[in-house]
Amino acid sequence: MAPLPPLPTSLVGSYAQPEWLIDRSRLAGRFPPRVRARELWRVAPELLAQAQDDATLLAIRAQEEAGLDIVTDGEIRRESYSNHFATALEGVDVDNPGTALDRSGHPNPVPRITGPIRRPRPVEVADVRFLRAHTDRTIKMTVPGPFTMSQQAQNEHYPDAEAAAMAYAEAVNAEITDLFAAGADVVQIDEPYMQARPDAARAYGLRALNAALAGVTGTTAVHICFGYAAIIHERPAGYSFLPELAGCSARQVSIETAQSGLDLGVLADLADKTVILGVIDLSDHAVESPETVAGRVRRAFGFVPPERIVIAPDCGMKYLPRESAEGKMRAMAGAAELLRKELAASS
């Protein structure tokens, strides 16, 4: 595996799943599922794993051909970023779901916590091994965060949401340890509900996040965003929970800046973190030019040195058409090439 260049490029996690694999119109017409949503898959159950492997290979090759430096599995096997892991745990009833409000305030079917949350077996280890076997580039795997999962569940077992979050943290910690042992170079925890529920995040979310990272020695990241652009259309002017992440033990923090036009002064609060800088607008299917993307990256240079920046989309590319996703990845790689030449010329 070659060393990463300056300003490496990466997906946040997900890539556009093929139309032949998943019913994209049904996927786009609902909020991300918290319980299983088997009806989304177009392939017969007995052939689904093979089809998901084939689609994952396409996602890996698409990232490589676009020129990305850090490759994910595209989360191709997942119905959503969180339910793949959350529904694999013991102590939750997904067949008789409960209800919780999503980040837009609408009720959504969610796992019902009916007993102690436990991870009976690794959930994504086979996925990371598959990814490692099919690329020689740096690889990243993502897992949903304990705080976010606690907000996406109906708690009928623990005394409060904090206790549930800490139980989820134990499961996530075990998973992260196994993912690094299986060959992951970077493991990212997705915690979008820290932005959606900042008061609860301040009360116990950071403690749950650090518990999920306890004892982990590999490179870790935490992703926090305003929600998928295809579903959550309005963007606030700034994060309600971000400087607090300077106090987490993850080495990298993943944020979105393109669609929101975020004031990047907040980056100065993230101390010595590497910033996974979201600079691809996922609300617009039109492909940005490399020059446009490079301009969005340059905005951060006054607050974070280039050596602590990873170039990425705002969020997952799950809801983009594949042609758009491919073009936007090429734009990221092109922007990185432009900026590397500028940095080399100025040094």
Q: What is the pLDDT of residues 103-139, one digit of tens each?
A: 777 788 999 999 999 999 999 999 999 999 999 999 9
Cα 264–Cα 318–Cα 164 angle in degrees, nearest 5: 75
Confidence bin at 317 (pLDDT 50/70/90): very high
pTM value > 0.85: yes
Within 10 angstroms of residue 94's Cβ, the number of other Cβ atoms is: 18
**pLDDT tens sequence across 69-78:** 999 999 999 9
pLDDT tens figures, 261-291:
778 888 888 878 999 999 999 999 999 999 9
The alpha carbon torsion through 277, 14, 71, 275 (nearest 10 deg) reads 20
CB contact at 8 A, 328 and 320: yes
Q: Is 160 exposed, middle or buried (0-12, 13-18, 19+ CB in 10 A)?
A: exposed
Report how far Cα 122 is from the mean position of its chain's Cα atoms.
19
Rg (Cα) of the chain, in Å, rounded?
19
Q: How confident is the model at residue 230 (pLDDT cuts 50, 70, 90)?
A: low
The pLDDT of 168-183, averaged and rounded, is: 98
Please report the domains of the chain, with CATH numbers, ordered by start residue: 24-346 (3.20.20.210)
The mean pLDDT of 196-216, rounded to a whole number, is 95
